[in-house]
Amino acid sequence: MMTPSKSQLLTAALLASQSASGQTLTKPILNPEYDLGAMSQAFLPHLIAPAATSINKWAWGTLPSFCKSESIHEGFSAYNMEVYEVTFADCSQPWYMCRHNESTMSVGGMINAFGSLPVGTRDFIRHIVVFPHFMTPGVAAHAKSATGDLMFGFNYLETSLWIHEAGHIMDRQHGNNGDYSATPNWLNAYNSDTHLPTGYANTNQAENFAEHVILATYDNVVPGGLAGIPAPTPDRQAVQNQYTTVKNLLGNKIRKITGATCNRQPTALIGLTSPVVCMGPDALAQGACAGAPNMKRDENGHDALIAAAEKEPGVYEPASRWTQSA
């Protein structure tokens, strides 16, 4: 019997993560459907990142445990990960961003793309992690909803993509022991509409909810909202109950409000950062770990934190929907 390769296992995880979020939906797709690339361009003048008031690059040797576990999980060495502690003008509490040093996404691009999200949306995010690519072929991004972590590959900076991925985390954090997109309130909104906004929304309710977070944010921050999209204009009334439900649920969390500041409230699952650990024995030998623990191997030869991370496959975003930045 042949043992499947790691990439085969991860491809299976991509399919499993989609099916685990629910069944394929059956409503017709709007024609024309919403053009998320064009919406990303329309977002740009209205979702401008506040100034990064500090960008502190950590000395080589330690990193947040989530960044280590996911880098190894994706086939990269933790020794090649850079850690940036970033604060913005609208929040004195830092976000911890990890970037593989061979990533095509620049440090500035990573910080600006994240900072462009409304501060209320950023409140739900713990780590941003950027890799050159993912082990699973054809993946642009990966959301770990339960822990509030977003991962990106290549150089995908489209605003709609980042909102969509954040939408998965907000979906989980507004659910009751699960995703909000599985609640009767959401299903009632879905059943009250006649269509879905995009073809990808047809994947399952989790993806449908995340697509509507894009629509709801657009309706809030772009002058004229969904009604002002140039012709051919999608029929917003056919999805109105769904995006209105998202707008009411998330409120100011998906608005760009002058003077708004962060309101980060760490929970048992979403702290400001995962525990700081040593990159590995080479860093330990060079005295670069500053007392941070190494991640012990269990009896199966796997990092215990990797095993924990693999328990929830997360939500993978296909690259075919998005355009990389030059």
Segment 53-99, tens digit of pLDDT: 999 999 999 999 889 989 998 999 999 999 999 999 999 999 999 99
Rounded to two decimals, the pTM is 0.89
Whether residue 307 has pLDDT greater than 80: no
Rounded mean pLDDT of 265-279?
Answer: 75
Pairing outcome for strands 127-131 and 81-88? unpaired
Q: Using 50, 70 and 90 to split pLDDT, how confident is the model at 292?
A: confident
Pairing outcome for strands 315-318 and 149-153? unpaired
> What is the DSSP code (8-state) at residue 262?
-
Q: Cβ-count burial of 10 within 10 angstroms (0-12 exposed, 13-18 middle, 19+ buried)?
A: buried
Whether residue 3 has pLDDT greater than 60: no
Whole-angstrom distance, CA of residue 237 vs CA of residue 84: 43
pLDDT value at residue 199: 96
Q: Using 50, 70 and 90 to split pLDDT, how confident is the model at 190?
A: very high
pLDDT value at residue 299: 35
Give every strand in the sheet of 81-88, ordered side by side: 52-57, 81-88, 91-100, 127-131, 149-153, 139-144, 315-318
Residue in this structure with the two tokens 């880098």, named with its chain if needed: 71
Whether residue 5 has pLDDT greater than 70: no
Q: Using 50, 70 and 90 to split pLDDT, how confident is the model at 177?
A: confident
Rounded mean pLDDT of 226-233?
Answer: 96
Rounded mean pLDDT of 148-153?
Answer: 95
Whole-angstrom distance, CA of residue 293 vs CA of residue 43: 42
Quickly list H helices, the chain. 6-20, 36-43, 65-73, 107-115, 119-122, 159-173, 184-192, 205-221, 240-250, 281-285, 304-311
User: Which residues does residue 131 pair with via DSSP β-bridges, in sequence order?
Assistant: 153
Rounded mean pLDDT of 237-266?
Answer: 94
What is the average pLDDT score of the chain?
87
Whole-angstrom distance, CA of residue 313 vs CA of residue 168: 13
Rounded mean pLDDT of 106-134?
Answer: 96
Pairing outcome for strands 52-57 and 81-88? antiparallel
**CA angle (79 as vertex; 288, 5 as ends), nearest 5:** 145
Per-residue pLDDT tens for 27-59?
Answer: 999 999 999 999 999 999 999 999 999 999 999
> Do 126 and 258 form a contact (C-beta atoms < 8 A)?
no
Rounded mean pLDDT of 164-190?
Answer: 94
pLDDT value at residue 325: 84
User: What Rg value do the Cα atoms of the chain yield, rounded?
Assistant: 20
Per-residue pLDDT tens for 293-302?
Answer: 765 543 344 4
Q: Using 50, 70 and 90 to split pLDDT, how confident is the model at 233?
A: very high
pLDDT value at residue 320: 87
Whether residue 11 has pLDDT greater than 60: no
Whether residue 8 has pLDDT greater than 80: no
> What CA–CA distances, in Å, run from 108 to 52, 58, 127, 242, 281?
10, 16, 16, 34, 30
Tokens encoding 212: 């509507």
pLDDT value at residue 269: 58
Q: Using 50, 70 and 90 to split pLDDT, how confident is the model at 219?
A: very high
pLDDT value at residue 310: 46
